[in-house]
Structure 1
């Protein structure tokens, strides 16, 4: 690729990001006190792919006042739930140059709560099974929440693909990534802090290929990292927004992250393909609804921008 062409494409990519900020993206995530109509939600937030906080979306949920430790022990204390364990709180994240997934196990809800009550310096527990675990493992308390967000379901034109229950240690962190889902994320207890980057900044979010691996807890204590030879290498975001290595990835300077904290009783609409990094308070509880995104012309544009950015990056290196 010649220098002039490379420069021209780089400028076009920069214009995409800058014009998105100037024309329609908000400098802060807007907050609404009550839900809007499905039509307004779709027209003003889903179609333009813009995040939103809604304060009054789940105020009617019994879970807001019922979901305490004593309630869980009484209602589902003996129920086996899927739990992930890591030595550092980072599951599905880059560690020691590998993409490392957590150690997964089954334990009773009471045992999980015991672990949260007495945090271990070397083990971080998190309920984060993203397979609609609320409707499966937590079916005994599902009546405490809605199984779908009615105005979201109408706006998206479909029922949610998955409804997930999240609860865990305050050290648990979700590394930066993106999903092919429209996400309605509801915090029931505590808070979640999101760092968000729009899809129009994707050219500035570095990816690398990493050997897939997983944590395994050793009998004598501690963890080892075991390569997953069957999966091989996987692409993953190469930068931690909490401490970005700008010497290695200087292009990240061009991103304009948004930070938002979602408190108990609030819902975040996290649009499809937005990059997000998540941290939380200790014992935070959340329920999220994943709706499959529409693979329409916006997705075509997104994949085109991704391909162009990859081409520029490859030729530059």
Structure 2
């Protein structure tokens, strides 16, 4: 289910995060596609345009620089990305649960109908299926409270957990699975570098295909 998106003055958003205004919804600035450079130009001068040692190591500049700010109720479900990710916490803390790509045989996938959240007249949300869209694979398991009766293979996985505090940076390699929580009002900036579709990716594709078989 894609998140419901809306635009509002940034001060209105801060009033919600700072609890000056109450709302039953969960608010999170998490639009990607380099939203820091595209939507928050006032903040660009406050951070580096890239991480020099990473740009040198990869031989390229980041594909996107993203800004994140939200409530503690905003939780990112377990997934992976095709990016080399440098996640920098400016204020607050981020809580990561990580799985290396080698844990793929123990991580379940199921097919789901794509859907969107739509706001009803009373302000509540309803999930509306995109009936003409093809089903998409997603991980149905909550790694913080896994249903091992339904997904017994997950017991063989070896998750890593880490806390990234203000002033710290996490290098999250491409294809690593991650589940993310945060302290309330946490501010972060991350740098996405396109991954190389090299032998590493071929190894992962082989493991993925063998798992499905």
For normalisation by structure 1, the TM-score amounts to 0.66
1:104 maps to 2:8: no
Asked if structure 1 preserves the Cα contact closer than 8 Å seen for 2:88 and 2:168, the reply is: yes
Q: Which structure 1 residue ranges, 4+ long, deviate > 4 Å from structure 2?
A: none
Partner SS state of residue 184, structure 2 = coil
Question: Which one of the candidate residues 73, 77, 80 is aligned to 1:175?
Answer: 77
The root-mean-square deviation of aligned C-alpha atoms, in Å, is 1.0
1:117 maps to 2:18: yes
Deviation at 1:232, TM superposition (A): 3.0
Equivalent residue pairs, number: 212
**Equivalent residues in 2 for 1:1-317, closer than 5 Å:** 100-118=1-19, 120=22, 122-311=24-213
Asked if structure 1 preserves the Cα contact closer than 8 Å seen for 2:16 and 2:23, the reply is: no
Deviation at 1:162, TM superposition (A): 0.4
Point out where structure 1 has 5 or more consecutive residues left out of the alignment: 1-99, 312-317
Give me the whole-angstrom Cα distance separating, in 2, the residues matched to 1:238 and 1:288: 26
Partner SS state of residue 147, structure 2 = coil
Query: 1:33 — aligned with what?
Result: none
Which protein is richer in helix relative to its size? 1
Greater relative contact order, per chain length (Cα 8 Å cut-off, separation 6+): 2
Pair member with larger Rg:
1
Aligned CA distance change for structure 1 residues 248 and 299 (closer, same or farther; 3 Å): same
Deviation at 1:231, TM superposition (A): 3.0
Q: Deviations along 1:177-212, whole A, 9 cap, x unmatched?
A: 000100000000000000000000101000000111
Give me the whole-angstrom Cα distance separating, in 1, the residues matched to 2:38 and 2:96: 27
